[in-house]
Amino acid sequence: MASISSDDPANIASPAPAAPTAAPTAAPTARRPGRPTGAARGPEQRARLIDAALTLFAKQGIVETSLGEIAREAGFTPAMVHYYFKTRDQLLDVLIDECFGPLRESLGLPFQENPDDPVAAITQLTVRLVQIASDNPWFPSLWVREVISDGGLLRQRMHERFGFAHQKASLLAIARWQKEGRLNASLEPALVFVTLLGMTILPLATSKLWRNDPLRRNIGGPEIARHAVALLVQGIGPSKSD
């Protein structure tokens, strides 16, 4: 039997493979100025900016409020607010899409759900207005300043976005109810909503002034809604139960 030579290359143990060299760690991507880091990212930061914008818009108006003021109100830097909203117009578009548009649709439901019952439609609309104002403290002041008042920027942008179809449909419903004898024929359809807003949103917007008034400081949303419904449905004459 032939001997196996230790010099045979096939019989020489191969050296242990070298440990793999660790891949170089990529340098972290430089963060753009204003971009939130770590826990600062997320929808809650964007929501804080939106809440701050609504608060300031209600307090001092849209035109008078800068993105820098909104950032300070939310506790952020101006660069942070610019990361989420490049311009005030973009922010306003977001507010219309996410806040004002849904509220507008909600306010239209009572008329859609009660096509043959004007008292129920107007009563539910009154209650809903007060509830929205109670859930969103910025709503009354902002609506008075930017929607009811002439020249409000929000009023202009809402009309550009949604037009007048919703308003016209409501006025036609009121006129139809009058012709059908379901609603007081002496009412002026175009003034029904103005009257309703005046009896709900206006007192809610000024309710902070009542805090030191012993005669009115205990008046809140439920009392305002009850008063408005009673005045709309029964007028100022005594009720039948009286």
Question: Higher confidence at residue 40 or residue 237?
Answer: 237
DSSP 136: -
Pull the structure tokens for residue 64: 């008078």
Look-up: residue for tokens 């969103």? 136
Q: How many CB atoms lie within 10 A of CB 40?
A: 11
Euclidean distance between CA atoms 81 and 14, whole angstroms: 63
Q: Are 151 and 136 in a shared domain?
A: yes
Domain for residue 119, yes or no? yes
Question: Higher confidence at residue 70 or residue 17?
Answer: 70
Domain for residue 20, yes or no? no
pLDDT of residue 14: 41
Q: What pTM did the predictor assign?
A: 0.76
Q: Are 78 and 142 in a shared domain?
A: no
Select from 86, 119, 147 the last residue of a domain.
86
- CATH number, domain containing residue 212: 1.10.357.10
User: Is pLDDT above 60 for 6?
Assistant: no
Domain ranges, residue 220: 92-234
**Tens-place pLDDT, residues 71-107:** 999 999 999 999 999 999 999 999 999 999 999 999 9
pLDDT of residue 123: 93
Q: Are 59 and 132 in a shared domain?
A: no
* Cα–Cα distance list, 31 to 27, 83, 187, 207 (Å): 12, 12, 62, 46
pLDDT confidence bin for 235, thresholds 50/70/90: confident
The pLDDT of 117-141, averaged and rounded, is 93
Q: Are 64 and 151 in a shared domain?
A: no
Domain for residue 75, yes or no? yes
pLDDT confidence bin for 113, thresholds 50/70/90: very high
Q: Are 125 and 213 in a shared domain?
A: yes
User: Cα 43 vs. chain centroid, distance in angstroms?
Assistant: 14
Pull the structure tokens for residue 46: 């964007």
Instruction: Judge contact between 118 and 220, C-beta under 8 A.
Output: no
User: Is pLDDT above 50 for 122?
Assistant: yes
Q: Are 98 and 73 in a shared domain?
A: no
Euclidean distance between CA atoms 199 and 228, whole angstroms: 6
Number of domains observed in the structure of the chain: 2
Q: For the stretch 66-86, what's the b/e string if a residue is b when 16 or more beta carbons lie within 10 angstroms of its beta carbon? A: ebebbbebbebeeebbbbbbe
Q: How many CB atoms lie within 10 A of CB 60?
A: 13
Q: Are 64 and 143 in a shared domain?
A: no
* Cα–Cα distance list, 32 to 26, 90, 185 (Å): 18, 20, 63
Euclidean distance between CA atoms 133 and 196, whole angstroms: 14
